[in-house]
Structure 1
Amino acid sequence: MAFYEVYSHPVLIRYKASVCTSATVFLVVVVCLTYISPLLVAFRSQGFWIQRNTYEEQAVVRFQYETLLVVATGANGDHVAWSTFPHLNNMLGEKLRIPAVSVREEDQNQDGKLDRLIFQMQLPLKDEENVYSVQLLLIFSYQLFTKSTVVMQSLAYMQHSSPVPGAKLFISGDLRLQQRTPLPHRGLFNIYNVSVIDGSSPFASAYDLDNIVRRYQERNLTTVLSCPIPVWTTGRAARSPFQLIAEIHYPVEVISYYPGFWETIKFAWIQYVSILLIFLWVFERIQTFVFQNQVLTTVPITTGKPHQQ
């Protein structure tokens, strides 16, 4: 009569030993190696604790209609200037030139965030005056919302000079965020939500470009006009104003921040478990070999209960 298998199940074998035996010592060592070694490997691989992370966001940028312009009109240091600050304009006297200004901000992709500023200026000059260099400061409101809420006042500084008198200057560039330290992962960050230029000050030092730029660069979070491309046009006709056109784009930024506790733990847990699975597989095979072959003396007890997988 032929026989066939109708059912099967694994047999559970329990290996028992007293506490003070080499088998117990072996088991303690294996458990420690299994669970501590992955921790050491993950930590030594320099990827266990995530110390900083990045994300992308396009800032909400608004031009504040605050401007400071300095134009050199001669090789001997002659210059004219204009600003949106009444105290400075009063101090300029005969060097004050009031230009015609046009400002337009555009949302090119219709996503609710402005993408570009077009700043146009026509500066009246006397017949004997020529433009050799231009320095322009524009003040912006800059805000971020994805992680921490960042609210600050920032500036774009643009400068160009030429030995040949100019009739027109065109500049195009990106208003880029510069970080010396990462941002916090949440909360309100408004330490720099103060005026870059103190327009209420009656002192000339408050409007000196050296002082403005020096104080601004002491901040950990700033904006700069990146990759400006100037186009200097010569041949200004008599009694024609000097033209200045600046196109400033507001790009998507890669922002660095300190991750929070749960984000750090989640990243560490992924690193630890992925390595732990390998150690569990290896040391399970080692234990099976040691106890099945009685490398260490134990008492095997066979039970009829199937081994639960």
Structure 2
Amino acid sequence: MALYELYSHPAERGYRAGLCSKAAVFLLLAAVLTYIPPLLVAFRSHGFWLKRSSYEEQPTVRFQHQVLLVALLGSERGGFLAWSTFPAFNRLQGDHLRVPLVSNIAVSKILNWNGSCWLKLFNRECLKLRNREVPIQMLKHGDTFLNNETREEDRNQDGKMDMLHFKLELPLQSTEHVVAVQLILTFSYQLHRMSTFVMQSMAFLQSSFAVPGSQLYVNGDLRLQQKQPLNYGGLDVRYNVSVINGTSPFACDYDLTHIVAAYQARNVTTVLTDPNPIWLVGRAAEAPFVINAVIRYPVEVISYLPGFWEMIKFAWIQYVSILLIFLWVFERIKRFVFQNQVVTTVPVTAVPQRELYKEHLS
């Protein structure tokens, strides 16, 4: 009857020598060369310690309904027109103040003390106040007027706003012509996936053209800019302060160079990227200058400092992947050295533990 090999196992063979023998020294040297070089190779190949990592997150962004506008006029008149949602800034403008029509922003404090001047200049008898027409003289402290065209939109219905539609109409006289615009919009910006990061940020828009315009259209992204990575955990509110000090009575606090310089000194900011401004000309004599802006809140790649266990995990993967190669190589070297008696040892056949137990009982 033909016989077939149904099962096999390797015969274990041992090699004995003293602790001070050449064989013991060889094993110690082999162990050092097996475990230490992979660590050096992984470390010297750079990136062993994960110093910075990144992830994607949709930020929670909300428009704070704070605006600062400066419109530069043509050379035939010179000067500028300005307005903001900060009463202290408006009081500093004097004759340069011009109240625009912008939705969801309270301007009643301005109208309360300068509404008659506006009425005299533009001969507008009424404004749309909360969806009803009222004479301008009837506006009182605390009222707001709306045009229902500035809004935030959640397009994918995930509970986070995806874009802002902003519209502002600046009334002009027939002799006034806008050739440049400087606009600041402020936002609340939050991240929650790793660390909880909360800040107040801004979008700064500046456009100038040689030809007077009737409308400025902007379509861009509110992008996060990092000069240093965020922490991997905890609460970070170091920049949760107002971009514009709206309570200050000093003109220097509203200077655009001062605002931009202080803002750029932050390590984390937002910037309006790829605004693609479109300057439209041909304004009618009594028509206002219109600013239309679409600002999207895109998904961001956030840079952060990894935690201890994330660094260990990343380093361990690199080390073990190289260690496996060294283990395989030195296992073959040790087998060759002992089988061929390169170092003097006493070969013995290993006895299974069960047979040793039977001999002991007998």
Tell me, what secondary structure is at the counterpart of 2:291? strand
1:48 deviates by 1.3
The answer on whether the counterparts of 1:11 and 1:305 sit within 8 Å (CA) in structure 2 is no
1:127 deviates by 1.5
1:5 deviates by 5.2
Query: 1-side partners of 2:3 and 2:260: how far apart?
Result: 94
Query: 1-side partners of 2:156 and 2:268: how far apart?
Result: 27
Q: Tell me the equivalent position of 2:81.
A: 80
Q: Which amino acid aligns with 1:34?
A: T
Larger Rg: 2
Match of residue 167, structure 1, among 211, 214, 219:
214
Query: Which has the larger displacement, 153-162 or 3-12?
Result: 3-12
Q: Tell me the equivalent position of 2:24.
A: 24
Q: Tell me the equivalent position of 1:260.
A: 307
Q: Tell me the equivalent position of 1:177.
A: 224
1:147 deviates by 0.3
Q: Deviations over 1:200-258 (max 9, x none)?
A: 00000110000000000000000000111101001111011001101100000000000
Structure 1 residues 26, 246: closer, same or farther in 2, change over 3 A? same
1:2 deviates by 7.1
Structure 1 residues 171, 23: closer, same or farther in 2, change over 3 A? same
Gapped runs of 5+ residues in structure 1? none
TM-score by length of 2: 0.82
Q: Which amino acid aligns with 1:169?
A: L
Q: Superposition pairs for residues 257-296 of structure 1, below 5 Å?
A: 257-296=304-343
In percent, how many aligned pairs have the same letter? 62
Tell me, what secondary structure is at the counterpart of 2:275? strand
Tell me, what secondary structure is at the counterpart of 1:50? coil
RMSD over aligned CA atoms reads 1.4
Q: Tell me the equivalent position of 1:48.
A: 48
Tell me, what secondary structure is at the counterpart of 2:167? strand
Query: Which has the larger displacement, 87-96 or 214-223?
Result: 87-96
1:193 deviates by 0.3
Query: Which has the larger displacement, 8-17 or 210-219?
Result: 8-17
The answer on whether the counterparts of 2:74 and 2:212 sit within 8 Å (CA) in structure 1 is no
Q: Tell me the equivalent position of 2:204.
A: 157
1:91 deviates by 1.2
Say which structure is richer in strand: 1
Q: Tell me the equivalent position of 2:10.
A: 10
1:21 deviates by 1.5
Structure 1 residues 20, 98: closer, same or farther in 2, change over 3 A? same
Runs of 4+ aligned residues of structure 1 deviating over 3 Å after TM superposition are 1-9
TM-score by length of 1: 0.96
Query: 2-side partners of 1:134 and 1:238: how far apart?
Result: 19
Whether 1:186 and 2:187 are equivalent positions in the alignment is no
The answer on whether the counterparts of 1:56 and 1:254 sit within 8 Å (CA) in structure 2 is yes
Tell me, what secondary structure is at the counterpart of 2:276? strand
Gapped runs of 5+ residues in structure 2? 104-149, 354-362
Q: Deviations over 1:101-147 (max 9, x none)?
A: 13200001111100000110110011111000000000000000000
Q: Deviations over 1:45-65 (max 9, x none)?
A: 112111110000010001011
Q: Which amino acid aligns with 2:30?
A: V
Query: 1-side partners of 2:6 and 2:55: how far apart?
Result: 59
The answer on whether the counterparts of 2:34 and 2:330 sit within 8 Å (CA) in structure 1 is yes
Tell me, what secondary structure is at the counterpart of 1:70? strand
Work out the number of aligned pairs and report it.
Answer: 306
The answer on whether the counterparts of 1:126 and 1:239 sit within 8 Å (CA) in structure 2 is yes
Q: Tell me the equivalent position of 1:98.
A: 99
Tell me, what secondary structure is at the counterpart of 2:277? strand
